Structure 1
Amino acid sequence: MSMQADHSNRSWYKRNEIALTPWLFLIPGILMFLFYVILPVFQSFYISTLDWDGLGQGTSVGLENYRELWHDPAFYISLRNNLIWLALYLLAIPAGLFIALFLNQTVTGIRLYKSLFFFPFVISQVVVGLVFTWFYDPTFGLLNTFIGWFGFGPINVLGDPTYVTYGIIAAGLWPQTAYCMILYLTGLNAVDPEQIEAARLDGAKGWRMLWYVIIPQLKPATFIAFVVTVIGALRSFDLISIMTNGGPFGESRVLSFYMFEVALSEYGFRMGYGAAIAVVLFLIMLCFITYFLYSMYKEERGH
Structure 2
Amino acid sequence: MTYATVPDRHPPSPGRRGWYKRNEIAVTPWLFLAPAILFFLFYVIFPIYQSFTVSFYSWDGLSDPTYVGLENYRELMDDSAFEVSLWNNFKWLVLYLLAIPVGLMIALFLNQTVTGIRLYKSLFFFPFVISQVVVGLVFTWFYDPTFGLLNTFLGWFGLPTVNVLGDPTLATYGIIAAGLWPQTAYCMILYLTGLNAVDPEQIEAGRLDGAKGARMLWYIIIPQLKPATFIAFVVTIIGALRSFDLISIMTNGGPFGQTRVLSFYMFEKALSEYGFRMGYGAAIAVVLFLIMLCFIAYFLWSMWKEEKGH
Specify if TM > 0.5.
yes
Question: Structure 1 residue 6: deviation in Å?
Answer: 10
* Conserved? CA contact 1:53–1:270, under 8 Å: yes
Can you list the C-alpha shifts for 1:43-101, whole angstroms capped at 9, x where unaligned?
11001001011122111100000000000000000000000000000110111111111
Equivalent position of 1:239 in the other structure:
246
Distance change (3 Å), C-alpha of 1:9 and 1:32? farther
1:261–1:267 Cα contact (<8 Å) kept: no
Counterpart secondary structure, 1:296: helix
Aligned twin of 1:52: 59
Q: Deviations over 1:121-152 (max 9, x none)?
A: 10011110000000000011010111111111
CA offsets, 1:253-291, max 9 Å, x none? 000000000000024210000000000000111111212
CA distance in 2, matches of 1:267, 1:289: 35
For this pair of structures, how many residues does the alignment match? 299
- Which piece of structure 1 moves more, 143-152 or 245-254? 143-152
Alignment deviations for residues 207-229 of structure 1 (CA, whole Å, 9 cap, x no partner): 11111111111111111111111
TM-score between both structures, scaled by the size of structure 1 = 0.95
The letter of the residue matching 1:140 is F
- Residue 113 of structure 1 aligns to a residue whose secondary structure is helix
Alpha-carbon distance, 1:113 to partner: 0.6
Matched, 1:265 2:272: yes
1:300 Cα deviation from its structure 2 partner: 3.1
Query: What CA distance in whole angstroms lies between the structure 2 residues aligned with 1:106 and 1:228?
Result: 29
Greater Cα shift, 188-197 or 134-143: 188-197
CA distance in 1, matches of 2:230, 2:99: 13
The residue aligned with 2:75 is 68
Report which of the two structures shows the higher radius of gyration computed on alpha carbons.
2
Inter-CA distance 23–76: structure 2 relative to 1 (3 Å threshold): same
The answer on whether the counterparts of 1:49 and 1:63 sit within 8 Å (CA) in structure 2 is: yes
Equivalent of 1:8 in 4, 16, 34 = 16
Q: Does 1:135 align with 2:142?
A: yes
Structure 1 residue 171: deviation in Å? 0.2
Q: Report the equivalent of 1:37.
A: 44
Residue 158 of structure 1: aligned partner: 165
Instruction: Give me the whole-angstrom Cα distance separating, in 1, the residues matched to 2:106 and 2:224.
Output: 17
Q: Which letter maps to 2:169? A: T
- What secondary structure sits across from 2:210 in the alignment? coil
Equivalent residues of 1:50, 1:272 under 8 A apart: yes
RMSD: 1.6
SS at match of 1:138: coil
Distance change >3 Å, CA 195–CA 18, structure 1 → 2: farther
How far residue 188 of structure 1 moved from its aligned partner, in angstroms, is: 1.1
Query: Which letter maps to 1:8?
Result: R
Q: Does 1:28 align with 2:35?
A: yes
- Residue 15 of structure 1 deviates from its aligned partner by 4.8
Query: Which blocks of at least 5 consecutive residues in structure 2 are unaligned?
Result: 1-11
Indicate whether 1:224 and 2:222 are aligned.
no
Aligned residue identity for 1:272: G
Change (3 A) 1:146 1:25: same
1:222 is paired with a residue of what secondary structure? Answer: helix
Q: Which amino acid aligns with 1:31?
A: L
- Report what 1:119 is aligned to: 126
- Measured after TM superposition, the shift of residue 7 of structure 1 is 7.5
Cα deviation digits, residues 21-58 of structure 1 (max 9, x gap): 22221111111111111111111100100101112211
Distance 1:144 1:24 in 2: 59
- Report what 2:85 is aligned to: 78
CA distance in 2, matches of 1:194, 1:19: 40
Q: Is the 8 A contact 1:262 1:273 kept in 2?
A: yes
Structure 1 residue 5 displacement after superposition: 9.6
201-210 or 229-238, which deviates more: 201-210
Per the alignment, residue 90 of structure 1 pairs with 97
Residue of structure 2 in register with 1:105 after alignment: 112
Residue 148 of structure 1: aligned partner: 155
Q: Give the TM-score of the pair, scaled to structure 2.
A: 0.93
Distance 1:193 1:269 in 2: 59
CA distance in 2 between partners of 1:9 and 1:210 (Å):
59
**Cα shift at 1:20:** 2.8
> After superposition, what is the alpha-carbon deviation per residue over 1:157-204, rounded to whole angstroms, capped at 9, x for unaligned?
000001000000000000000011111111111111222122222221
Residue 215 of structure 1 corresponds to 222
